[in-house]
A and B are shown apart, each in its own frame.
Chain A
């Protein structure tokens, strides 16, 4: 529906609830990941992130592009998190002291790195989710022991045809599996355990 981010932002500016929902789902995970770096309690960080999005809704007309919107989310989340740490006596002494002991620059540095990590993961997660069922299935089929001849039979190909296209297939597969970067290393480990 929203191939165009510009359209999404514009609809959000106009108060379209569906656009807000899509923005929410798009960035919730990344903002949570960011906040959990310094607010370790998962329930508290979820509350902080929800508050951030509520504020986003109240200021929905202020953003004219995705980058400004993301900046707002991260900055608000940072402030929300730090406020919580300052106020709360329940925070684990270790993390609190660590953060209090940081200089302004060190804190900024740590935050920026965490934003970088969150954004990299967010981008990769989208790529993985775009073919999730298929990636999982392809890998599972192999783990569950379908060999060339079984595949050939299932696909109505001759085993020779299957062998002939092997080189091209490996190249294409590497490219395809690049999106499944998670799965390939896991696959290697699982294969060893399964003794295939």
Chain B
């Protein structure tokens, strides 16, 4: 087989056994790869009610069919699991070189189950595999874990995905890290830690073979040409997403736990400020965008801090929620989260949640261990992040995620947990962009900004040839469906979001078909059907766990309180109206939000009906 390695490795950590499976033909035909493989494998493997931190949860790593080839921007890897934060389906995505190395090592996916009796790491190399002792690594941060495994195995080119102290302690938004790239969200790190799995290390030299090398080469040449010709390529390449001004000028940069939409003095941390502290560009496997940045702080109390990043979400996470414009703190906090293995978004929102509770006297200085969580005060933040990672003091409560933290604290704190389905809301106020907000409200992961990013509302990309009013509520359901299905299509590649703007379904199909030999992939309609199927199966995974319309909901702050000032002044999120429009567009039951029988039949998902 070409493109694919046609090998999935199953690992049972409890019994320390392995098995290899070829990929089922139907899996390729109906789900293509990447995100398609992830949801189908997870759905088939798991029973409803599985404990996310228990033996029976899966941790599934997937590399796409185009990973390890010369096609640009297909180097991302994805991890699939039942989330300890949301209790539902989760897929988390990371950059770097882990996916290509998995292909070179001989595999398309790793399905890891069980719990090891003591800390281990999985070593997969040149088609072989073993579990190795990780006692000596347990407790180490992510950078050190990488260094020591490479030393132990005497190979600096080994690629690794690991957890830090946060994952080891079951912080519910602990992530999985590979060369400072993060599959951050949803608690994959906690699942991995619960399995006593410190890391997965990979090394391989098997090149990915192609069905039609000539056609593939031509398709890649065309792709590269599009990157080079695009007028915005150079700019995005340079800055990545280090420009928090864009949501500020739209009045939807959430501040003080989603109360206002503009950070006072945001100009001091806009893209020009990041230009000054950027020291080097970084990149993922075979991606000419090299949109990553190494930043370093040279002055002030955070002098000497550096980070790969921070990207937009992280820039927001340590400024907006606490009303700080200290760029040094942002960089230092980004590095600390990378080192300790935490999702920056959920961490930032959790810190912001604590600041609001402190403001309202719901928690006091006694409970914060003397930390003064006052707006504009950056001093407590690094301490608080450490407390979260090590589950100390207030950090132990915040480590549960804001929804559970609020439940445990009580005292009226529940209304201040800004989450959907337990996942903390990221750096976009839904009141400022309705389709964008609708996607985050309905996504199976919870409030995920990438699930169906509304570029039409945020970056003025026309929809069906017409400009889109971000405040309007009409026709946003259909557009949201399109955005979500479209992202699911790219996810089979696995294509980085930032590469999506240079591709279309036709060229994508040619890349897939010439690599794998499956000519069905040439048809854009075929790809769209697969995309819609994936989204619906993710939905059905959650339905099986008890999710329905009641979970497609925002906190009252966003639906009842208008944004007080700025360009989005007066806006609320009209959830009932937008949700109904979305369910209609999706063909889901209006009352329950569950895909109808006829929709499931249409997508070949009848098997989800037997429950």
* Mutual binders A and B: no
Q: Which residues of A contact B (CB under 8 A)?
A: none
